[in-house]
Homo-oligomer: A and B are copies of this chain.
Amino acid sequence: MSQSKLSELTWREVRRSGEDGIALLPIGSQEQHAAHLPMGTDTLLVEEVVERALDLLAREAHHPEVVLLPALPFGHSPHHLFAAAVSLSAATLSAVLDDILDSLVTSGHRRILIVNGHGGNDEIMRLAVKRFALRSEATVAACSYWTLTSAGHEVGRPDVTPGHAGWFETSLMLAARPDLVRTPVHARTPVEPPPLFDNPPYPGLTVERHGEWARVGGSTDDPSTADAASGGQLLDDRAQGLARAIAAFDAATQ
C-alpha cells in the first residue's frame, strides 16, 4: 500500500517510506468559532480535505507514496483566547515544527509537506519551512488547504474565503460534520467599522488593533447563508487541488 499512517508503521517501514515517499503533516487549531461551530473546526476540516485528497490520489494508476502523520491538533490562536482556545505561542509552534521536521529527516525522509487548517499558523509555518530548507538537505512544501483549488485560483466567494466562522467554514462543516454545527445558524449582526485585520484601510496594508477580535464578536462574516451543498463542492474542489499539488510536488522533486 502506498498510502499509510505513520503512527501505524513500524520504524523500519518508516525508514523505507522515507526513501521515495512524502511525509504529510496536517496542522490545525482549537479555538472559538462563534456560537455555532466547534473549537476543533480547523483541525477537522484540514483532516477532511487531506483524507479526500489521498482518496483521490489512491484511485490513480501512478501516484506518489504518502506517509500521513497524526495532525497537530493545536495551533497559534492567542487572538481567540478572549473567548476560548488552546493556543501555542508562536515560539512554541515554531519549535514544534522544527522538531517534527528535524525528526523526519533524522528518520530518513527527504520530502515533506505541511497542510495547514488555520490562518494564524500561516507565517509561522512559512518561516519554519524556510529555516528547515537552509539547515537540511531536504525539500519541504507548505500550504493552507483553502488556497489550493482544482482551477488553481478561487472560483467561489473569494471575498469571504476563508474568513473565520463565516460563510466558508460553516458551509464546509455543514458538509463534513453537520452533527457538530449548532443549527439554525443565526445571522451575524453587522459590525461597524468592520475589523481592521480583515478590512485594511488601504490595499496591501496589514493593520492590527488591540481588542479587535472581541469588538467584532469573534467572526468575520455572516454564516447564516452557508449551505451543505456549497460546502461539499468546496471541499471536493480543495481535495482536488491538494491531490494535484501533491502530484506536482512529487514530480518536481524526484
Q: Which residues of A contact B (CB under 8 A)?
A: 5-12, 14-15, 30-40, 43-44, 69-74, 78-81, 83-92, 95-96, 98-100, 103-104, 106-108, 123-124, 126-127, 129-134, 136-144, 147-149, 152-153, 180, 182, 193, 196, 200-212, 218, 241, 244-245, 248-249, 251-253
Contact = CB atoms under 8 A, between A and B. Distances in A.
Contacts of A147: 203-204
A212 B134 CA distance: 9
Contacts of A212: 133
21 contacts: A6-B30, A7-B39, A7-B40, A7-B44, A9-B38, A10-B32, A10-B34, A14-B39, A30-B69, A74-B99, A81-B107, A84-B107, A86-B100, A88-B100, A92-B95, A92-B99, A130-B208, A138-B210, A139-B196, A141-B205, A143-B205
Interface SS of A by simple majority: mixed
Contacts of A38: 7-10
